[in-house]
Structure 1
């Protein structure tokens, strides 16, 4: 919907009054627009914040890089345990025990946002935030990753955990991730924090 992309709120309200269902095409346009007022209008018109967009994706999964919008979705009942299954296809439903929602803020080196999510998540075992913190994504920098790793270890995550939950993306422990990256500072950090592979390095 061009009106959504252009953030024409009055037009959006008018058009929503003419449709019976708020479908995935409308929501994908709203995700692209990244506008809380637009999501508020959709919510007022009966939009289900947990409705899948296709391939098992939900709006939250696509908006975790936008902390303000992600917080809005959480406040309005989005389920952060929903995420695409492995080998998803167009009509796949989200799985209900994903940990990807926790991995993303760890990868973005955002401790405050990470700390918010466990209050909403019922499933914490299917994630690998330490591995994600090592690997990083988005605007995270190497300088922010070790503080994020420190933060996660203070939350009692295990420096020797393996990442079996990541399916085909399995690497091993956070130390293995750091070695694979050639990130000497993160290798040293992992060893210093008690990696079981310390004797090898």
Structure 2
């Protein structure tokens, strides 16, 4: 049987919400280990919404990405506020750069009041991930239309970043699909045949991969509503993918070879 982890008693005390046990276990961990880790117990306090324990543990635990990510996912302004009060930069990337900032949290792209609060805390909607995605990219792909519209209407929102049109195609097909595509193209100057990740930031990570146009994505996931909207704006059904400096198959039309309804739409 493996030995219990050094922080086992502390995590158990956090779950049981025993303040005196938390204090004792914290002191024992601090005194008995040369490099004690309080990160797991701190994340446990966040998961359990034990704010008293969280405040206590933040005295011991240096902040790290895992703690900040747990705070962002907690859907609690009180938890996030405690983390920010400890000096965490609200715009610092998470998950090794894969997540633009705490603003990208799933709750922020679905809850308008939480988004407002994060913006008031100084969250920058233009902070980017290592694929050049912003909070708006994620909101368009998986958030509510209220949040999408609020971000689109921000004066400081840079809509040239984040492959927004590609994200709109990946959004679950709905009555909003065509309207969102129209708005991105007509109001935000999204290029209908632009390649995904075709920029200096994302290019470092996606170099060598075939890059898709929005219509490629629509055909791959059979988003007929999106395909119709893109074609209405002049999308090229014979556009090849881009790989490094070369153009490579397939085209959207070739992707539709075994999909008669989609093929007919592309040839119309």
**Shared fold (TM-score, shorter chain, > 0.5):** yes
Q: How far apart are the structure 2 equivalents of 1:109 and 1:154?
A: 21
**SS of equivalent to 1:142:** coil
Q: How far apart are the structure 2 equivalents of 1:85 and 1:129?
A: 15
Distance 1:8 1:135, change over 3 A: same
Equivalent residue, structure 1, for 2:60: 19
User: How far off is 1:122 after superposition?
Assistant: 6.1
Cα RMSD of the aligned pairs, angstroms, is 3.1
User: How far off is 1:76 after superposition?
Assistant: 1.0
**SS of equivalent to 1:165:** coil
Q: Structure 2-normalised TM-score? A: 0.57
Q: More deviation in 161-170 or 2-11?
A: 161-170
Gapped regions of structure 1 (runs ≥ 5): 87-97
Q: Deviation digits for residues 162-194 of structure 1, max 9, x if unmatched?
A: 12435447211x333222223333322222233
Q: How far apart are the structure 1 equivalents of 2:137 and 2:130?
A: 15
User: How far off is 1:154 after superposition?
Assistant: 4.3
Distance 1:109 1:31, change over 3 A: closer
User: How far off is 1:6 after superposition?
Assistant: 0.9
Equivalent residue, structure 1, for 2:162: 127
Q: How does 1:1-201 map to 2 (within 5 A)?
A: 1=42, 2-16=44-58, 18-19=59-60, 21-56=62-97, 57=99, 58-63=101-106, 64-67=108-111, 68-85=113-130, 98-108=132-142, 110-117=144-151, 119=154, 121=156, 123-136=158-171, 140-158=172-190, 160-165=192-197, 167=206, 168=209, 170-172=211-213, 174-197=214-237, 200-201=267-268
Of the two, which has the highest radius of gyration?
2
Q: Structure 1-normalised TM-score? A: 0.72
**SS of equivalent to 2:54:** helix
Q: How many residues align?
A: 185
User: How far off is 1:55 after superposition?
Assistant: 0.8
Distance 1:115 1:109, change over 3 A: same
Q: How far apart are the structure 2 equivalents of 1:54 and 1:191?
A: 36
Distance 1:37 1:177, change over 3 A: same
- Bigger relative contact order (CA 8 A; separation at least 6): 1
- Answer yes or no: is the 8 Å Cα contact 2:109–2:147 preserved in 1: no
**SS of equivalent to 2:176:** helix
Q: How far apart are the structure 2 equivalents of 1:141 and 1:182?
A: 10
- Answer yes or no: is the 8 Å Cα contact 2:72–2:105 preserved in 1: yes
Q: How far apart are the structure 2 equivalents of 1:85 and 1:34?
A: 24
